[in-house]
Amino acid sequence: MKKFIHVISSFVLLTLIFSSHAQNYPNKPVKLIIPQAAGGATDVFARYIGQKLSLLWNQAVMTENKVGAAGVIGTDLVAKSAPDGYTLLLTYAGSQAVNLSLYEKIPFDSVKDFQTVATVATTPFFLVVGVNSPIQNFQQLITNGRSKNSKLTYATSGNGSINHLLSESLKVEAGIDMVHVPYKAISAAMTDVISGNVDNAFGAVPSVIQLIRGGKLKAIAVSSVKRNGSLPDVPSIAELGYPNFDVSPWWGILAPAGTPKAVVEKINADINAILKTPEAQAFFKDQGADTLITTPEVFMKMLESDVQKWAKVVKSSGAKID
């Protein structure tokens, strides 16, 4: 009986400790690490969420771009940080679920070394060309890519990035030939698509929507099975003859494994509250994205599922980084 009472007392004490963590959180500035370069969808989403959390918490949320190695450098920084909720990661499936299969050696486990906290959004990718490109629609791209003398090139933000794997998937699905031209950041890739130095690229909607609206890029297809509300006239690749083509990656916030459950649940609840506001709904819609509200548990299942899904794509593409 005494042993039972001791166990119950210990459980109550731990519950009180975890609850106090959440009640006092955050009592100092929070770092929100962005493992991708400025200007991309991850950066856009992180800065918006960081600003709103700062207002909600009355505490500074400092967004920092820690770029390099397709997101590995910034992600590793968070994996090795103290699990106290004061160093968070805002990333997307393209880094968190792909890198485990892409690299021969990686300094962390994308699943085991992290605690999923909150999803933020999903968004498809537009397949874009320069407005002055001789290729003005999807069928012209396919016809060009199937010709014996095809010299098509496509730009990406690096080996193993989602836009790289999307282009490789399109090559296989449509039976076309294109040469990969990798860049260190999607902004640089799009600059060369605009100038005509590279023929086409996949870009996450928030990364390219302003360039499309500004008349510098033309979207000829979208990667989701349905058309995107930001540009409803742009057809989906699925409706253009490839019904299994459907990619809309998630973006979300993770913390180091071992972060107190009460802190995780508080952050999740606060982010979900932000995402439910009409202002946030309008912001993400304008970016061509859909807000995604889940629990930490559902988010973990999504991550685990995507690790397996993208492992197959990486294997079929042959993409590897030493």
Average pLDDT over residues 139-149: 94
Q: In Å, what is the CA distance from 74 to each residue of 77, 115, 208?
A: 5, 16, 23
Q: With pLDDT > 90 as the criterion, what percentage of the chain qualifies?
A: 75
Position 21 scores a pLDDT of 56
Write the pLDDT tens digit of every residue in 74-128. Answer: 999 999 999 999 999 999 998 899 888 888 889 999 999 999 999 999 999 999 9
Q: What is the mean pLDDT of the chain?
A: 91
Position 7 scores a pLDDT of 45
Write the pLDDT tens digit of every residue in 180-227. Answer: 999 988 899 999 999 999 999 999 998 899 999 999 999 999 999 999
Asked if residue 268 has pLDDT above 60, the reply is yes
Q: CA 316, CA 124: separation in Å to the nearest integer?
A: 21
This prediction has a pTM of 0.83
Position 220 scores a pLDDT of 98
Write the pLDDT tens digit of every residue in 226-257. Answer: 999 999 999 999 999 999 999 999 999 999 99
For the chain, give the secondary structure using H, E and C.
Answer: CHHHHHHHHHHHHHHHHHHHHHHHCCCCCEEEEECCCCCCHHHHHHHHHHHHHHHHHCCCEEEEECCCHHHHHHHHHHHCCCCCCCEEEEEEHHHHCCHHHHECCCCCCCCCCEEEEEEEEECCEEEEEECCCCCCCHHHHHHHHHCCCCCCEEEECCCCCHHHHHHHHHHHHHCCCCEEEECCCHHHHHHHHHHCCCCEEEEEHHHHHHHHHCCCEEEEEECCCCCCCCCCCCCECCCCCCCCCCCCCEEEEEEECCCCHHHHHHHHHHHHHHHCCHHHHHHHHHCCCEECCCCHHHHHHHHHHHHHHHHHHHHHHCCCEC
Q: Which CB contacts under 8 angstroms, 24+ apart, belong to 224-231?
A: 224/124, 224/248, 228/123, 228/124, 228/126, 228/288, 229/285, 229/288, 230/205, 230/285, 230/286, 230/287, 230/288, 231/126, 231/288
Position 292 scores a pLDDT of 97
Q: Which of 4-13, 130-139, 229-238, 247-256 has the lowest mean pLDDT?
A: 4-13
Domains (ranges, CATH) in the chain? 2-123+249-317 (3.40.190.150), 125-222 (3.40.190.10)
With cut-offs at 50, 70 and 90, classify the pLDDT of residue 139: very high
